[in-house]
Amino acid sequence: MIVRGRLSDLWWTIPLKRNGLMQHALIRKLESYETLSDKDRRALNALVPRIRQVGAHVDLAREGDPPDNVHLILDGFACRYKTLADGRRQIMAYLVPGDFCDLNVFILDQMDHNIGTISQCQVADIPRQAIEEITADYPLITRAFWWCALVDEAVLREWLVNMGARAADQRIAHLFCELHARLEAVGHSKDDSYAFPFTQTDIADTMGLSNVHVHRTLRDLRGMGLITLKSRILTILDVERLKVFCKFNANYLHLKNARWIDRRSVIWPSQSQGG
């Protein structure tokens, strides 16, 4: 079938196979954590999600709402956030293509935070019933779901470290390194460049900094020849230098290429160096 966007975004007119696009993204994501069997893949292929295009700055779930479907981001960027009584916003997570917004949250009675889009997003809504059936019958898929949840928690821990213990420039550099690694893993980064629809205010609300500090820091990082940011495309000019600058260690992302998948008893490089 052909799905058409609004006139203003006709570039988005693409053929969309309802059964296929989501499964491809989903299976790719899960297989980065667990090797699935044909039986598992057949079960995932049998899912019939609703795929929809959502505009930028639209809430997919609001604090207080009873959670409904499980949302999977197929394209675009979303975030988890809370709004404080004085109107301040704190962003606690960025969700990129392949990320579940709320895999296990449907178990809860109500949402304790908001999930909203940053850019225009393509979102798959998977009925919670389908997730419950799959987790009851397919242990490998369930294990892969655990991986997803564990990595989300690991990222949250790292963000906590970022907010509490890194200076503003390293904090933002660390975020750029993380997004680079996560987007590269799902094929959304090319030549160390990726779409960066976040505004300075988005970064400020994420990093616990003022707009002024974010502006100064981005200028510094550009001045040091580490990044460029043009037309909402972020380019890391020297990935290794940027990683050294903020002491980025991707271990917490548990990406397959960093996991030594068949040799789990082998210690990680950081440990072998006494790190």
Partner 1 sequence: MPARGNVEMLVTMQPIAVNTGSDDRDGMLVMANGMLVAVLVQLATPDHEHEGDWFLEVALGPLRAHLAPTFANLDDATRWMRQRLRAQSDCLPLK
Residue 236 CB, nearest distance to partner 1 (Å)?
21
Residue 210 CB, nearest distance to partner 1 (Å)?
8
Q: Does the footprint of partner 1 cover residue 6 (CB under 8 A)? A: no
CA distance 13 to 75: 14
Binding mask 83-102 for partner 1 (x = CB under 8 A): ---x-x--------------
Give the β-pairing of 193-195 and 50-54: unpaired
Q: Does the footprint of partner 1 cover residue 219 (CB under 8 A)? A: yes
Binding mask 148-167 for partner 1 (x = CB under 8 A): --------------------
Dihedral sign for Cα atoms in the order 194, 198, 199, 201: negative
Q: Binding residue for partner 1 (CB under 8 A) from 92, 220, 255, 258?
A: 220
Please provide the DSSP assignment of 39-95 as one string: HHHHHHHT---EEEEE-TT-EEE-TTSPP-SEEEEEES-EEEEEE-TTS-EEEEEEE
Query: Which 178-217 positions form the footprint of partner 1 (CB under 8 A)?
Result: 210-212, 215-216
Residue 198 CB, nearest distance to partner 1 (Å)?
15
Beta strands across the sheet bearing 193-195: 189-190, 193-195, 233-236, 227-230
Q: Does the footprint of partner 1 cover residue 232 (CB under 8 A)? A: no
Whole-angstrom Cα Rg for the chain: 19
Among residues 48 and 212, whose Cβ is nearest to partner 1? 212
Q: How many residues line the site for partner 1 (CB under 8 A)? A: 9
Among residues 88 and 263, whose Cβ is nearest to partner 1? 88
Residue 115 CB, nearest distance to partner 1 (Å)?
23
Q: What is the 3-state secondary structure (H, E, C) of 160-201?
A: HHHHHHCCHHHHHHHHHHHHHHHHHHCCCEECCEEECCCCHH
Residue 57 CB, nearest distance to partner 1 (Å)?
19
Selection from 66, 90, 95 nearest residue 78 by Cα:
95
Among residues 86 and 109, whose Cβ is nearest to partner 1? 86
CA angle 172, 76, 39 (to 5 degrees): 115
Among residues 86 and 262, whose Cβ is nearest to partner 1? 86
Residues that bind partner 1 (CB under 8 A): 86, 88, 210-212, 215-216, 219-220
